């Protein structure tokens, strides 16, 4: 049997030294554990590492058989590798010095497919059902659909059927839709949002599988709130990357990265993300092991090579390769913007517009009254001649309350969205901001769509504001879509790092005409708002069109690398 603590420390030392390929978030997760192990017990740090409890789930899982593929045919038992021992010993090893209760109450593991995350999770679920010492334990595999919920459950059931010791020594009863232990009144069952009220739960352990596929936060919230009566319940989230940055998965991922980055202190949360670093080329074979900790074990180089060739040859396969094989979050099924490049262009200092007062500027205006945002995007050039984008977003309080975006209320509290009273967005607030911007800047034009805002615009035109009608058609949008994308990829644009705007940019997809290659911005679902980017496209479209052709060419050429 393996020395699981030695394997865990060998893995951590390899990550820390660079011998084991790892991304930023994996390195930070390892650094966190190494730092915690070095901390002395104090009033602020009541946790101690219990080596015996750390290895118990590892020892248990290695007594379970493989149930699929070659290793199942050969009758082999599960053999844990370093990264799995690191996770298990960290999660189960930390206990309170006085009560002996576990420190970690929630786990978030983000890792690509084929890294045996369902096998690991099934083993942990069986351990929590039969060997954790909890009476009346309720263990669930939860998902949005019953088929998805059964993946982890069916794997655990298959392991149990091939493990007579669980029946003879633990009294485990195996049924089609549940596993039970009569002597402790414990049970394990799949749990799906469909066909179930999800009420009346008393959760000791729950696996939420493929969290990125959850379109609402209902399952997560029900499971999370159903753990209150348990002293050391554990919520185990496993997922690959996805496309929905407004959902519960990306919310939890964001929280995990803040904890790993030291921005937020949450000692009850364990999280690790296996992905690429921002600068990595997804087709660089040397980077693939960063995202796939089971590289060479269950993730085979030949299979990855085949998937990469398909992604390179077929653009429609690229997003699937990025999300499922490399755990890279993408913007949508047919994304406009490379979000990693967009994030690199963020400049929070732009939020203080007073430093740029008096400059020539253009404004794009996209208005909506009920569930969509109103947006005003200001663009101007800085001292280096780079185009800068600052976007103000407005939404009424009812729309925020009813929104399915898990982040929106927090963004509003942080001031990234201007909230107006009632159930309609107050255009007077927008008008006041436009008047102030015109006083602070030399505003050349305010581009607006007359289909949505003619009456509103008429009042401002009477006041002398320079409003210009823009029909939101592909003939206008094609050039701004191409130019802004290129500017972002080249690092020639700056924006004010508003996370709501980033979410909207990630939602925007481009529809290309088959007849004339004209492009139009659109969104895949009504909840994927794109009002801010539309305002930006209008503003920068007019600003770039106002530049003499030679000026724009010279501007782009000035940033080109000098010839070797």
Distance CA 139, CA 126 (A): 9
- pLDDT for 62 equals 96
pLDDT along the chain (564 residues), means of 10: 88 97 97 96 93 97 92 92 97 96 97 94 96 94 88 94 89 93 94 68 94 87 87 95 86 91 90 94 94 94 94 82 93 70 92 91 86 91 92 90 78 91 86 93 91 76 89 87 92 94 88 77 82 95 82 51 44
Distance CA 353, CA 350 (A): 6
CA-closest candidate to residue 112, choices 260, 242, 302, 243: 242
- Strand 205-209, strand 186-192: pairing: unpaired
CB atoms closer than 10 angstroms to residue 77: 15
CA-closest candidate to residue 524, choices 253, 254, 242, 312: 242
| List of E strands, 223-359 | 234-239, 269-273
pLDDT, tens only, 272-300: 999 999 889 999 999 999 999 999 999 99
CB atoms closer than 10 angstroms to residue 430: 22
Length of the chain: 564
**Percent helix, strand, coil in the chain (nearest 5)?**
45, 20, 35
| List of E strands, 234-340 | 234-239, 269-273
For helices 146-161 and 117-130, give the axis angle rounded to 10 degrees. 70
Domains, the chain, ordered by start: 4-273 (3.40.50.300), 341-557 (3.30.420.240)
- pLDDT for 240 equals 95
- pLDDT for 452 equals 65
Rg of the chain over CA atoms, in angstroms? 27
- pLDDT for 197 equals 58
pLDDT, tens only, 532-542: 999 999 999 99
């Amino acid at each position: 049997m393996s020395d699981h603590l030695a394997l865990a420390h060998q893995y951590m030392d390899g990550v820390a030294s660079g011998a084991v390929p790892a991304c930023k978030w994996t390195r930070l997760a390892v650094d966190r554990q190494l730092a915690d192990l070095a901390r002395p017990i104090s009033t602020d740090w009541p946790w101690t590492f219990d080596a015996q409890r750390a290895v118990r789930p590892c020892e248990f899982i290695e007594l379970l058989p493989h149930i699929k593929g070659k290793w199942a045919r050969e009758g082999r038992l599960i053999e844990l590798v370093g990264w799995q021992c690191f996770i298990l010993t960290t999660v189960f090893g930390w206990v309170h010095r006085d009560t002996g209760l576990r420190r970690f109450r929630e786990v978030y593991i983000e890792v690509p497919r084929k890294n045996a995350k369902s096998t690991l999770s099934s083993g942990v679920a069986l351990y929590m059902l039969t060997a954790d010492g909890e009476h009346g334990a309720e263990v669930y595999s939860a998902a949005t659909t019953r088929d998805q919920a059964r993946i982890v459950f069916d794997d655990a059931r298959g392991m149990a059927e091939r493990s007579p010791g669980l029946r003879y020594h633990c009294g485990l009863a195996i049924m089609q839709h549940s596993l039970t232990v009569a002597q402790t009144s414990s049970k394990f069952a799949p749990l799906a949002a469909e066909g179930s009220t999800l009420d009346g739960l008393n959760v000791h352990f729950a696996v939420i599988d493929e969290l990125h596929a959850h379109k609402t936060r209902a399952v997560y919230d029900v499971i999370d709130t159903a753990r209150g009566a348990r002293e050391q319940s554990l919520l185990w989230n496993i997922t690959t990357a996805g496309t929905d940055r407004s959902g519960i998965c990306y919310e939890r991922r964001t929280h995990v990265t803040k904890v790993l980055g030291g921005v937020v202190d949450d000692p009850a949360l364990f999280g690790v993300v296996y992905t690429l670093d921002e600068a990595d080329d997804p087709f660089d074979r040397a980077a693939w092991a960063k995202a796939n900790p089971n590289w060479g074990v269950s993730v085979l180089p030949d299979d990855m090579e085949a998937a990469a060739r398909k992604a390179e040859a077929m653009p429609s396969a690229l997003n699937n390769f990025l999300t499922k094989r490399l755990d890279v979050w993408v913007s949508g099924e047919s994304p406009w913007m490379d979000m990693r490049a967009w994030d690199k262009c963020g400049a929070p200092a732009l939020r203080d517009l007073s430093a740029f007062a008096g400059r020539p500027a253009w404004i794009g205006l996209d208005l909506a009254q009920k569930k969509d945002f109103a947006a005003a995007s200001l663009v101007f050039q800085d001292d280096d001649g780079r185009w800068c984008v600052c976007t103000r977003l407005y939404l009424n309080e009812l729309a925020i309350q009813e929104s399915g975006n898990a982040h929106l209320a927090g963004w509003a509290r942080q001031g990234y969205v201007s909230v107006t009273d009632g159930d309609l967005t107050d255009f007077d607030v927008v008008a006041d901001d436009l008047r102030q911007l015109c006083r602070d800047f030399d505003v050349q034009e305010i581009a607006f769509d007359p289909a949505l805002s003619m009456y509103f615009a008429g009042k401002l035109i009477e006041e002398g504001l320079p409003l210009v009608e823009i029909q939101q058609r592909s003939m206008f949008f094609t050039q701004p879509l191409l130019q802004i994308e290129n500017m972002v990829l080249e690092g020639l644009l700056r924006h004010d790092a508003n996370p709501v705007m980033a979410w909207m940019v990630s939602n925007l997809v481009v529809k290309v005409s088959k007849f004339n290659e004209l492009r139009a911005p659109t969104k895949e679902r009504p909840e994927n708002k794109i009002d801010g980017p539309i305002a930006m496209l209008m503003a920068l479209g007019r600003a770039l069109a106002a530049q003499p052709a030679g000026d724009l060419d010279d501007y782009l050429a000035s940033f080109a690398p000098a010839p070797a």
